[in-house]
Amino acid sequence: MSGGLLVAGTTSDAGKSVVTAGICRWLVRHGVKVAPFKAQNMSLNSFVTREGAEIGRAQAMQAQAARVEPTALMNPVLLKPGSDRSSQVVLMGKPVGEMTARGYHGGRQEALLTTVLDCLAELRGTYDAVICEGAGSPAEINLRRTDIVNMGIARNARLPVLVVGDIDRGGVFASFFGTVALLSREDQEFVAGFLVNKFRGDVSLLEPGLDMLHGLTGRRTYGVLPFQHGLGIDEEDGLRLSLRGAVRESQVTSPVGEDVLRVAVCAIPLMSNFTDVDALAAEPGVVVRFVDRAEELADADLVVVPGTRGTVKALEWLRERGLADAILRRAAEGRPVLGICGGFQVLGEHIEDEVESRAGRVDGLGLLPVRVRFAREKTLTRPVGEALGEHVEGYEIHHGVADVTGGEAFISDDHGHSLDGCRVGAVWGTHWHGSLESDGFRRAFLREVAAAAGRRFVPAADTSFAALREEQLERLGDLIEEHADTDALWRLIESGAPQGLPFIPPGAPA
């Protein structure tokens, strides 16, 4: 078997990432050596591979679903937005510059097609199957000429395409039909069928519509996946969670101690790696929410200033909205604050930035004795150390270089020498993403937070974030195993799109 499949979607957030992960987990359960692939990803949620390459976190999660080590081959092009009009381009795990959307789609994207196809070919030569994820919708007709992630790669690599639609949004039949009808005849030949996602209710009521869709398009539906809470792991885009009061989705579990612990995450502009707080949300009795108003910090036991692709912009935003003053008051009262990556830089004395914002010297909040200088070379590492007497692992993705001039060491090596970050009272800062996924460290940190906040909160002794993540991936595999036509899906991956699929007019505009 040397098969492949492209999982496309009628829209962004239709469920492509979790369906891709679910198919990977289903295949690996059956002894298939499988890898994920996304030619081009636009996301502020990224991860560092063992070889020091930056890729989308969704592809790292899919690799975990496939039980393989993530590599740059699985996401050769990553776009990290810096504004509404420009993004940092990360090629094969390394940043190569900033580009406007017009500049990228005006020529650079087409030039990357060879690189993308070479990566896919290498994966297909190594694995039994490669499950590819598209981006947005394949029917974005304004971008088709330069497309390297949807039909552009499906046509070049001769991959069958499965279109996922989110029925919870409504209009899924029109979306399925319209997606196919807006593709050229040549593109339509690769669209094998559909997968309904996030269905609530009695599937028998949906079946007449699926039959009619088959009659209209000549394409079958390969499954109807039910709506399930808690499956939005490692999403690509934090914007949906930046709304005021949005609660990070987690299982509602009673606290072990007498009190819950309330965590407020500042929904700063260009928020990156908001998944850092997932490990907190997984703890029984910890409630994590995203906030954008100063008064919402009043009842928080811990305030987190997360990572961002725009540190100076985040500082301005915190000051404009009164959040900066609220954080300063908290620190003066000895109430806990944690800054992660860009958030750590925000809490320092000043920032010298001629790289990201080109704003020069900018004063920080002055809560930590740290001076930050932005370097052109990006730090991409997977460090290991100790903090609060516990083993801790993380990953670093930043241009800012921190000069720590005081405070207590936060993360150290085995000999007690400081590796990263610092602490002053109840204010902590670190560049390390993912550190809270280290169970012992997370529990020790939460005990410190609870003590400083005056809460009778006790961390659960047996919470394993890795085990919880594995349970989520197993649930994704179960979704495919139980609710998709896996025999038909297997044939699709092995043999490609069925021959003789009808053309649905009008097709793509000339």
Structure tokens at 356: 């990201």
Let me know if 490 is exposed, middle or buried by CB neighbors in 10 A (0-12, 13-18, 19+).
middle
Amino acid at 410: F
**Which residue from 32, 83, 130 is spatially nearest to 309, judged by alpha carbons?**
83
105 is catalytic: no
DSSP output for 69-130: ---GGG-SEEEEESSSSEEEEEETTEEEEEEEHHHIIIIIHHHTHHHHHHHHHHHHHHSSEE
Let me know if 117 is exposed, middle or buried by CB neighbors in 10 A (0-12, 13-18, 19+).
middle
**Which contiguous run of DSSP H or E holds residue 327?**
helix 323-332
Angle at 138 between CA 200 and CA 62, to 5 degrees: 65
Segments in 148-202 forming alpha helices (H): 151-157, 172-181, 185-188
Phi and psi, residue 347, nearest 5°: -75, -10
Structure tokens at 436: 């809270």
CA–CA gap between residue 431 and residue 173 (Å, rounded): 46
CA–CA gap between residue 481 and residue 406 (Å, rounded): 55
CA–CA gap between residue 471 and residue 74 (Å, rounded): 23
Omega of the bond prior to 336 within 30 degrees of 0, cis? no
Number of H helices, E strands in the chain: 16, 27
CA dihedral over 83, 147, 48, 162, signed as positive or negative: positive
Catalytic pick from 398, 399, 431, 433?
433
Amino acid at 110: E
In the block, tokens 């699985």 appear at 74
Q: Is 409 left (phi over 0), alpha (psi -120 to 50) or beta?
A: beta
341 is catalytic: yes
CA–CA gap between residue 510 and residue 311 (Å, rounded): 44
CA–CA gap between residue 59 and residue 78 (Å, rounded): 11
Q: Give the number of other CB atoms < 10 A from CB of residue 160.
A: 23
Catalytic pick from 119, 341, 422, 483?
341
Which residues are catalytically annotated?
341, 433
